[in-house]
Structure 1
Amino acid sequence: MKLIQRITVGLAVWLSVSYGFSLADDVLPRSGAKNQSWATAPRYSAGIAPNPVQLEHSAIVQVYVAKTYGWRGMFAVHPWIIYKRAGETAYTRYDVVGWRGNDVVQRNYGLPDGLWFGARPMLLVNLQGQGVDAIITQIEAAIRSYPYAHTYRSYPGPNSNTFMAHIGREVPALRLDLPANAIGKDYRSISHPIGMSPTGSGWQVSLLGLLGLSIGIEEGVELNVLGLGFGVDVKQPALRLPFIGRLGMSSTTVSDTPGQEGR
């Protein structure tokens, strides 16, 4: 009983601390424009993506994540992936959007590195150079094989984070470490509760994304309770927390040559 009490108190402390950091980190466009709606929220380029014309001869893959719009931004994030093959001068973007009809997987819904309804995106993966074209082929196959292309539930999933986690599992070369506040990344159907973790480097057990455990080289150890992630990343020391996602060293995958990535 004492152990259960200690675990409960520990989780409560983690929740309080992470929620406080989330309040402090609230994005300025959302907090500074009281009359702003989702229709008027800025979605201009954040200036993060490399110029595809200048890098025409280089293949590029990037993954972004940004806080969701409104009050949900205190709890969750929205991810997307962009890429271009060598010889192309424009990016292709894919993400899952739940309000645009039955086909939730959207192509070029927004600018490659655009603000997500006022929230500035954060870069999770940046791959360039030799071998990236082959990774793009794998990404496109993963997009086609996404099992929930006509289903969307914001909580507990499947949603945009479920989509990106699927790509991460199918393309381990991305080393895609979605933050703990990517609610939906741990969603698994009731018939397949055990499998590869979203980073493609470990394993997880999860009951519909509501209760589970992930263990892997990239993500460390993360416990999922009602969609809230609590854990520790050992490889790049950090706490994995609800609301803020991560507190500690960055886990961004950066590489000029796949196979020689650095964090």
Structure 2
Amino acid sequence: MRWLIWLLVLLLVPLLVSTALVLSTRTQHWSLARWDSTGLAPAPAVHPAAVVQVYAARAWGWKGAVAVHCWVAFKREGAAAYERYEVVGWGVAQGAPAIRRNLRPPDGRWAGSEPELLVDLRGAAAAAVIPRLEDAIARYPYPHRYVTWPGPNSNTFVVWLAREVPELHAALPSTAIGKDFLPGGRLLAPAPSGTGFQLSLAGVLGLTLALDEGLELNLLGFVVGIAPKQLAIKLPGLGQLGWSRSGPDLAPDGLG
């Protein structure tokens, strides 16, 4: 019984703290927030080589207390602009596609959220994966479906791309709720980073063990774990806390 109490503490206390921190920063409607470029994506005119990037930003509203929104952006060598792909929920119930293309700038803020750059491939390495990324996007199993919890959602989409294109080595934040939802009801899959394995029951209960992600225990979509490689711990809502980061990934506040 005592272990159950400690488990509830590990889940509930970080969630309460993250909720208080995130909601205390909500000062405006999402439509009034910034969506402009952050400069993380090199300008095509300055950097003609191919680029592939993966981003994460804190979700908007109540979801921002517990989760981030992820997306992918890329450009071919010599291209004048980037292509940005992500999954969003608004409009899907009315028949809109879940996958959206060029909704915002490739490195744009997400309703005021400062994005975190998770993957940054350039040159030949980026050029080699772009055709495979496009193929994986076309084959995404849920192009017209969005479920906030436990998935499929925006993070399920990016993890699908990561598994189909292992060269991305995309280890999503522990707050990327939906990343543990395995398409087709699968129970076992490679970890998103490709450095280990993941067990998952419909995204609500599971275990990830990998070099990049570390050890993650998924309980109802919320992750508790450790990341030895980064000397960090992972807590629901607060995300990863450790020596390799200046603080919890609470700063962004966007819409997802």
TM-score, structure 1 as length reference = 0.84
Displacement of 1:226 in angstroms is 0.3
For residues 44-102 of structure 1, the C-alpha deviation after alignment (integer angstroms, 9 at most, x for no partner) is: 1122221121001x111111111111121111110111111111121110000111334
SS at match of 1:235: helix
Does structure 1 residue 52 correspond to structure 2 residue 63? no
Q: 2:101 aligns with which of 94, 99, 107?
A: 107
SS of aligned partner of 1:31: coil
The answer on whether the counterparts of 1:78 and 1:161 sit within 8 Å (CA) in structure 2 is yes
Residue of structure 2 equivalent to 1:258? none
Give 4+ residue runs of structure 1 displaced > 6 Å after superposition.
Answer: none
Identify the residue that residue 17 of structure 2 maps to in structure 1: 20
Aligned pairs for 1:1-263 within 5 A: 5-6=2-3, 8-10=5-7, 12-13=9-10, 15-17=12-14, 19-20=16-17, 23-24=20-21, 26=22, 31=25, 33=27, 36-56=28-48, 58-101=49-92, 102-189=96-183, 191-250=185-244
Q: Which runs of 5+ in 1 are unaligned?
A: 252-263
1:179-233 alpha-carbon deviations (Å, 9 max, x no partner):
1111000012463122222222221111111001111121111110000011111
Distance apart, 1:8 and its partner CA: 3.9
Which amino acid letter does the alignment assign opposite residue 157 of structure 2?
Answer: F
Letter in 2 for 1:192: R
Matched pairs, number:
242
Q: CA RMSD in A?
A: 2.1
- Distance in 2 of aligned mates of 1:241 and 1:190: 28
**Partners in 1 of 2:240 and 2:82 — Cα distance?**
28
Report the alpha carbon displacement of residue 39 of structure 1 after superposing the two structures with TM.
2.3
Q: For structure 2, which runs of at least 5 residues remain unmatched after alignment? A: 246-256
TM-score scaled by structure 2? Answer: 0.87
Q: What percent of counterpart residues are identical?
A: 43
CA shift at 1:11, angstroms? 5.1
- For the 8 Å contact 2:185–2:202, the answer to whether it is kept is no
Task: Return the alpha-carbon distance in structure 1 between the equivalents of residues 26 and 216 of structure 2.
Answer: 34
Q: Within 1, Cα distance between the matches of 2:195 and 2:25?
A: 37
Q: Is the 8 A contact 1:15 1:241 kept in 2?
A: no
Structure-2 change in CA distance of 1:32 and 1:85 (3 Å): same
